[in-house]
Amino acid sequence: MEESNRGKEKLKAIMFGAPGAGKGTYASRLQEKLDVEIIATGDIFRELIKEDSELGRKVRGYVEKGLLVPDDVVIEVLKQRLSKIPRGKGFILDGYPRTLDQAKALEAIAKIDVILLLDVPDWIIIERLSSRRICRDCGGVYNIRYLKPKVEGVCDECEGPLYQRSDDNPEVIEKRLQVYEEQAKPLLKYYEQKKVPIVVSKTTSLDQPPQPIVDRMIEELKRRKLA
């Protein structure tokens, strides 16, 4: 690993896509193959909410309604998390940036190599999110219809209990999709103007297995000397 990585820059990528597009699933599979950490702002907020700290109480209202947490909070949380990445390790951002101000704040800290854009039609997203389950212990993502755990309600990896996120309900899903539509175009335009390469992965059916998409992402990263 050390040897093959010598002289190479560590990967700094953004996994970009609608809620339910598969950002967490692909990022964790990439993590198994590449020397990267995942920074998922949504996961960080859910942890904060669980702790019931002052900050947790502040973000709860936004997350539960499917609204964006204010930029100053998100940017501070990201800075703190990024500062904990060990030297020599890369990262994949999942769920950040979601606004232009967040993108600009990121640019001041790190130069992003690539955007991994997930292109998934709304009907697949709605179907997936309403049957999504998450492991309470390790955050693993399952789907009770399309990506079932071996034992119902139990995580394959760590045997933790699976639960349904409170924002994975029809009204909040609709709000989250609407928020994504508004934020996505200006952000992608911003990165196009900055000439950051965008690698697009398309999903066209509900039962499309994730691994071939991940394998293609890795090939593409290797081709660009980013993995």
**Residues classed as catalytic:** 23, 98, 132, 165, 176
The count of residues interacting with ligand ADP (CB under 6 A) is 17
Task: Establish if 45 lies at the interface with ligand ADP (CB under 6 A).
Answer: yes
Question: Minimum distance between the CB of residue 73 and ligand ADP, rounded to whole angstroms?
Answer: 8
Task: Establish if 22 lies at the interface with ligand ADP (CB under 6 A).
Answer: no
- Pick from 14, 29, 42, 128 the residue near ligand ADP by CB under 6 A: 42
Residue 102 falls in which region: left (phi positive, over 0), alpha (psi -120 to 50) or beta: alpha
Amino acid code (one letter) for 103: A
- Pick from 62, 107, 136, 156 the residue near ligand ADP by CB under 6 A: 62
* DSSP string across 12-77: EEEEEE-TTSSHHHHHHHHHHHSSEEEEEHHHHHHHHHHHT-HHHHHHHHHHHHTPPPPHHHHHHH
- Pick from 14, 27, 34, 66 the residue near ligand ADP by CB under 6 A: 66
Task: Establish if 98 lies at the interface with ligand ADP (CB under 6 A).
Answer: yes
Question: Minimum distance between the CB of residue 152 and ligand ADP, rounded to whole angstroms?
Answer: 23
Which residues lie below 8 Å from residue 198, measured CB to CB, with a gap of 6+? 114, 115, 117, 188, 191, 192
Q: Which is nearer to ligand ADP, 15 or 213 (CB)?
A: 15
Give yes or no for a contact between 129 and 105, defined as CB atoms under 8 angstroms apart: no
- CA 183 from chain centre, in angstroms, equals 15
Instruction: Give CA–CA dist 21/97, Å, rounded.
Output: 16
Site stretch for ligand ADP (CB under 6 A), options 2-10, 59-67, 144-152, 201-209: 59-67
Q: Which is nearer to ligand ADP, 18 or 199 (CB)?
A: 18
Question: Minimum distance between the CB of residue 222 and ligand ADP, rounded to whole angstroms?
Answer: 27
Distance from first CA to last CA of the chain, Å, rounded?
11
Binding residues vs ligand ADP (CB under 6 A): 19-20, 41-42, 45, 62-63, 66-69, 74, 95-96, 98, 102, 176
